[in-house]
Amino acid sequence: MTAALTTDPRQAALTLRQGGLVAFGTETVYGLGANAFDVQAVARVFEAKGRPTFDPLIVHVSSREMLSQVVAEVPPVAEQLINEFWPGPLTLVLPKRDFVPDLVTAGLPTVGVRMPAQPLALEMIEAAGVPVAAPSANPFGRVSPTTAEHVIQSLGDRIDMVLDCGPCEVGLESTIVSHVHGDAPTVLRLGGLTVEEIEATIGPVPLLTAQQHEEHLPMAAPGSLARHYAPRKPLTILREHEVPPPGSDVGVLTLMALCSEASFGAVEILSQTGSLTEAAARFFGALRRLDAAPVSRLYAHSFPDHGLGRALNDRLTRAAAGAPANESNLT
């Protein structure tokens, strides 16, 4: 059966309360949601995505009161970040309350939590009256969905409902900041809120390196698998102004216009004005279109390494890593 499509947050909330799976739009990407306190519903999220259970889910809340049902403690610096950036594309990893199921947090004593800046999503969570655990609404390892249609295409027959919230405004997953007990706040994953914005509020924040992820957080590494966000076609990253090899079987993803567009089978220009904000919003959709275009090899220009360009480069690197995807080892 195909998922029901709705624009009514109350209907989506009812489905969540009944233990159903509801994909919903946020400002970052579409999430696949379940009542975070309903272990069976949460188990179905992992099953529908083909997501390994060592990868914890982000819990979405609609109010401070709901936050306090999920986390045991909000340190002062986290408080500052919440005041400044919620609702918005910032996930905080904080000490969890005992009754948050272990399946949600992959057995960790912490929980990733955020308040999305999407009015319909907030209404849905509010009406459901429970926090909503939701990873991105795509098969594990694949390109993230930024429209309701993307969700229907890849998970439509495995979930109950999609709350159509229109295209995602930010278009990249949330930035994840961990802040537990005595530890200084650390960025675990680059995303839709820039490190520059975070640092303007709380001062310098270190970014956990890939190696530190592997050594210290093998099971909590957020979106940190080397290959993730992956198209089906082989993808090569070029330097900012490097010319891709011409060919009708070549697809190109680039920030601004190329002078030689006719030499390629397909070209996706992310922003005529070079805006990284616009590029982020269009990034995953463009990657999907290139994957569907009649070309066999993809080339992508890397982005300027600041602001959202850093998160875009991170997604690009993972999308390009390793051999072309083989359905059986990614879902």
Positions in the binding site for ligand AMP (CB under 6 A):
55-56, 58, 93, 105, 108, 110-112, 135-136, 173, 176, 188, 220-223
Shortest gap between Cβ of 190 and ligand AMP (angstroms)?
A: 12
Shortest gap between Cβ of 143 and ligand AMP (angstroms)?
A: 12
Output the CA–CA distances (angstroms, integers) from residue 236 to 69, 264, 290, in the order listed. 45, 15, 13
Residue 145 interacts, among ligand AMP, Mg ion, none and using kind-specific CB cut-offs from 5 to 8 Å, with none
Residue number with CB closer to ligand AMP (267 or 308): 308
Shortest gap between Cβ of 80 and ligand AMP (angstroms)?
A: 20
Residue number with CB closer to ligand AMP (214 or 261): 214
Residue 132 interacts, among Mg ion, ligand AMP, none and using kind-specific CB cut-offs from 5 to 8 Å, with none
Rounded to 5°, the CA angle 58-62-65 comes to 100
Tokens of 77: 């610096």
CB atoms within 10 A of CB 135: 23
Shortest gap between Cβ of 315 and ligand AMP (angstroms)?
A: 11
Residue number with CB closer to ligand AMP (140 or 275): 140
Residue number with CB closer to ligand AMP (55 or 314): 55
Residue (of 310, 308, 321) closest to 28 by Cα position: 308
Alpha carbons 307 and 275: distance in angstroms, whole number: 11
Shortest gap between Cβ of 244 and Mg ion (angstroms)?
A: 27
Residue 34 interacts, among Mg ion, ligand AMP, none and using kind-specific CB cut-offs from 5 to 8 Å, with none
Residue 105 interacts, among Mg ion, ligand AMP, none and using kind-specific CB cut-offs from 5 to 8 Å, with ligand AMP
Residue 291 interacts, among Mg ion, ligand AMP, none and using kind-specific CB cut-offs from 5 to 8 Å, with none
Q: What contacts 65, CB < 8 A, 6 or more positions away? A: none
Residue 59 interacts, among Mg ion, ligand AMP, none and using kind-specific CB cut-offs from 5 to 8 Å, with none
Residue 93 interacts, among Mg ion, ligand AMP, none and using kind-specific CB cut-offs from 5 to 8 Å, with ligand AMP
Alpha carbons 287 and 180: distance in angstroms, whole number: 35
Alpha carbons 302 and 236: distance in angstroms, whole number: 10
Residue 55 interacts, among ligand AMP, Mg ion, none and using kind-specific CB cut-offs from 5 to 8 Å, with ligand AMP
Shortest gap between Cβ of 144 and ligand AMP (angstroms)?
A: 7
Residue number with CB closer to ligand AMP (173 or 291): 173
Rg over alpha carbons for the chain, rounded to the nearest Å, is 19
Shortest gap between Cβ of 228 and Mg ion (angstroms)?
A: 7
Answer for which of 136, 147, 154, 224 binds Mg ion (CB under 5 A) is 136
Shortest gap between Cβ of 231 and ligand AMP (angstroms)?
A: 17
By the criterion CB under 5 A, which residues form the site for Mg ion?
Answer: 136
